[in-house]
Structure 1
Amino acid sequence: MDYPLVHLSMFFLLISTGTMQAHSCFERVFSFGDSMMDTGNACLLAGGKYPTMSPPFGETYFHKPNGRWCDGRMVIDFIAQAYGLPPMPPSMGGNTTEYFQNGANFAVAAALALNNSFYKRVTGLDPPHPEDHSLGVQLQSFKNLLPIITKGSSVNGVMSSSLFVVGEIGGVDYVYSFLGNKSVFQILSLVPYIVAAIGSAVNDLANLGATTLIVPGMYAVGCAPATMIRFQSNNTEDFDIQTGCLKRLNQFAIYHNSMLMIELAKQRKLHPRANIIYADYYGAQSLLYLNKLDFPAPLYACCGVPGPYNVSTTMISCGTKGSETCPNPQNYISWDGGHLTEAANHAIANGILYGPFATPPLQSCSDQRSDHTYII
């Protein structure tokens, strides 16, 4: 997939000017996903004894660990803040109407798009987490909480005044299958099921009254230091000549994303009154690897162990004994080898919020609410 260079100057102009402030088009943001989106649910499930509750996680923005797989804010935090809302709270952190007044994040680290039993049946592999926190389970948790969230308000009113971000999710299904030595053919056979699971969640939310949904595609998984070291190769043809990333894995992500866009086109026909937006995380992230001025070490982890790509061949080691942290995470795309820095998350969020990586583009506040004129 090509991304014309004309987008490059536009994209980095938006990054250099920072996140624009606006009146809130939405009263709440609700989101679903895996560790690329999780703002603390996995940590709460583990009773606080979790890797992300150790320094240096959270050092850049929150100045302390807070359950995020990042040095600061995630993409979903920037999306919420762009609409005048605070960083996203984990859904498992409260159970009152007041707690959910600005929305919540239902994402859980290591969550699959497919439910655990189905994933095991079609792959023969044990799920990465024994408890099922898949997309369908997250959506059911949201439905169970709707009476609390909507207390004193109509369900339709809350749904129509909220923004829903469905993903990123599905990456864990694929990566664990690659790590389980499944063939490319076997992993490709998962794509229709995973895309259908995402489409089903969009359909359910639209049927409940959601009118604006952002659905992200897969990240550039072939650029993650953890996958670069796990699938390292001595064949130069295996690497993209411009980015240095593994072509095979990124081509897989592109295929998933193309199938997801077809599914979203179907959902738009089913729900013509809903604004269903495809967020091209892959495209937004890909441009970062070409920007050597802001990201001089694009394929290295900021926090990890000395060696190729600053990651371990067996596990992500950020925060463990023997790990080291770079002094300038804003110059890195990868935080710990498998997740992104706040700087990269900020850039991707800007590419989605302000173009050109949202299809269709996000509407202005004036399009959504007649009393607002700020462009989002």
Structure 2
Amino acid sequence: MANVAYQAILLLLLVFLSKEAIGFNDVKNSFPNFPPTAIFAFGDSLSDTGNGMQAFPFNMPSENLPYGSTYFHAPTGRFSDGRLIIDFIASHVPTAKAFEDGTYMISVSVNDILSRLLDQRLPPSVVNVTTVPQVVNAISEALRDLHKEGAKNFLIFNIPAVGCTPKVLTLASKGQFNSTDKLGCLEEYNALARKGNKDLELALTLLVKKDLININITVADMYSFHIDAIKSPGDYGFNASETLEACCGYGGPFNYSPLITCGQNSEVKVCSNPGEYISWDGLHFTDAFNQKFVDEMMDGMHYLKPIA
């Protein structure tokens, strides 16, 4: 199982290569060699810009409208109405000149955790002591191996507030772990995400202090931004009445149904104002959310947590 998890983490690797940092001094103080001059992205559906569609044609919902409708006006294989976080980061990157001073960006395995919670119907307490340690260990091992090859700079994305996603709210609310917080999110699932993020930061701190030398690690705190966007949607241009709803979906209080999903059924309802939504299809984020998150990170170290 550990080998499978490790291989999965390697597939979630986003490689940023940079010769020198240009601008964004506040961010640079937290994250060396930022911004990079070239990006090579290998990731899951939160960062896939079309490779899945190329590898498995006619098998991906992101091949179909309304995916891509907001920005590209056509499907591109991205699981969003428009651009992804990786696209917005790339927009700050000048033309590639060299493959030096690599910065490696790793996304934690949300799919692994959700598959245990929703598909296998394991309680959060079990996932917390089984899957979460496997994911954290896989990330640590990936960093060790990359460091052996000379990698020094890492940006790690933590787990978002999974208990606030329309998919989880729809599927998990039918089970016994369905107590909601004041935001309307499932507390047990968000508590699991917070615990996983805390364990991840502890593991990364141990790597920096005890195991690896000449290494720079920064955590991109997607969980906190996700929560802040739900708490104060107006601050980011989101509609307060739609923070827990999918823009593209069908039925129920969260506009999500596992039987009628975005891009795979003509009965799907697509909102007319995706820029005011956080969730695009029930699990993946909108173009607007992705852009706001990157803007916040670029604007003075918001949601960037250096590990020391």
**TM-score category, normalised to shorter length:** 0.7 to 0.9
Contact 1:224–1:338 (CA<8 Å) still a contact in 2?
yes
Alpha-carbon spacing, 1:318–1:50, altered in 2? closer, same or farther (3 Å):
closer
Match of 1:60 in 2: 70
Moved more, 186-195 or 249-258: 186-195
Q: Give the Cα separation in 2 of the matches to 1:27 and 1:346.
A: 19
1:82 CA drift (Å): 2.3
1:309 match: secondary structure: coil
Does residue 183 (structure 1) correspond to residue 123 (structure 2)? The answer is yes
Does residue 341 (structure 1) correspond to residue 281 (structure 2)? The answer is no
Percent identity (aligned): 31
After superposition, residues 76-95 of structure 1 pair within 5 angstroms as 76-84=86-94
Q: Give the Cα separation in 2 of the matches to 1:224 and 1:182.
A: 18
2:154 match: secondary structure: strand
**1:345 corresponds to which letter in structure 2?**
N
Q: Give the Cα separation in 2 of the matches to 1:45 and 1:277.
A: 32
Does residue 316 (structure 1) correspond to residue 261 (structure 2)? The answer is yes
Q: Paired residue for 1:166, among 106, 123, 146? A: 106
1:305 CA drift (Å): 1.1
Contact 1:159–1:210 (CA<8 Å) still a contact in 2?
no
Q: Give the Cα separation in 2 of the matches to 1:276 and 1:182.
A: 32
Match of 1:210 in 2: 151
TM-score (norm 2): 0.79
Does residue 260 (structure 1) correspond to residue 203 (structure 2)? The answer is no
2:254 match: secondary structure: helix
Q: Give the Cα separation in 2 of the matches to 1:164 and 1:199.
A: 13
Match of 1:353 in 2: 298
Q: Residue by residue, what CA displacement relative to the aligned partner does 1:13-44 show, whole Å, maximum 9, x if unpaired?
A: xxxxxxxx959742222344321111122212
1:205 CA drift (Å): 2.0
TM-score (norm 1): 0.66
Q: Paired residue for 2:82, among 50, 56, 72? A: 72
Q: Paired residue for 2:238, among 268, 272, 295? A: 295
Match of 2:250 in 1: 305
1:324 CA drift (Å): 1.5
Bigger RCO (CA 8 Å, 6+ sep):
2
Q: Residue by residue, what CA displacement relative to the aligned partner does 1:159-181 show, whole Å, maximum 9, x if unpaired?
A: 51x332111x3211111111211
After superposition, residues 78-157 of structure 1 pair within 5 angstroms as 78-84=88-94
Match of 2:61 in 1: 51
* Structure 1 portions without partners, runs of 5+: 1-20, 86-100, 103-156, 362-376
Moved more, 330-339 or 42-51: 42-51
Moved more, 61-70 or 291-300: 291-300
Q: Residue by residue, what CA displacement relative to the aligned partner does 1:245-286 show, whole Å, maximum 9, x if unpaired?
A: 111100000000001101111222333322211111101111
**1:308 corresponds to which letter in structure 2?**
P
Q: Give the Cα separation in 2 of the matches to 1:353 and 1:199.
A: 26
Q: Give the Cα separation in 2 of the matches to 1:359 and 1:277.
A: 5
Match of 2:162 in 1: 221
After superposition, residues 12-23 of structure 1 pair within 5 angstroms as 22=23
Match of 1:372 in 2: none
Match of 1:33 in 2: 43
Q: CA RMSD in A?
A: 2.5
